[in-house]
Copies of this chain bind each other. A is one copy, B any other.
Amino acid sequence: VAAAEADSEGLRAWRAFLEAHASVTRTLDRELQEERGLPLTWYDALVQLEEAGGELRMFTLAERLLLSRSATTRFADRLEGAGLIERRRCDGDRRGTEVSLTAAGRAALHDAAPVHLRGIEEHFSRHLDPAERRLLAAALGRVASVERG
């Protein structure tokens, strides 16, 4: 995903942004896959569940993972097949499905976390000085929150 012809500073920032995203996410996915056999998307799902206290509704999981509902259904099929999560009909509202981490899911997450965190440090944070980290967090957080809404 590149950009266009003119070369304003904003456009240069955008292109660098795209290139950095592509190269770093590919590297992180490859490392996690090779060292722990876990795709980055699976890791993300486990993180979301853990941060939510171990349990989420399909609907909410879809939002957090930036996936469509149907993609989340199929994704949950795979994670459930691998024994990392469980599905359960909601008690209050039986239209809904609750997804929760299994013991194996928690174990996979804790096994993978150091590799992933090391990767973020090594392939991303390490290239930024403290001021740049703060600025990126603030500036991109602003971009994300405005555009999400």
**Which A residues contact B (CB, under 8 angstroms)?**
1-6, 8-14, 16-25, 27, 40-41, 44, 47-48, 50-51, 64-66, 113, 116-117, 120-121, 123-125, 127-128, 130, 132-144, 146-148
Contacts and interface: CB of A to CB of B under 8 A. Distances in A.
Counted per complex, copies of this chain come to 2
Given A120-B11, A127-B146, A3 B47 contact: yes
Contacts of A51: 5
Contacts of A65: 2
Contacts of A14: 120, 124-125
A17 B117 contact: no
Nearest to A126: B10
Contacts of A13: 124-125, 128, 132-134, 136-137, 140
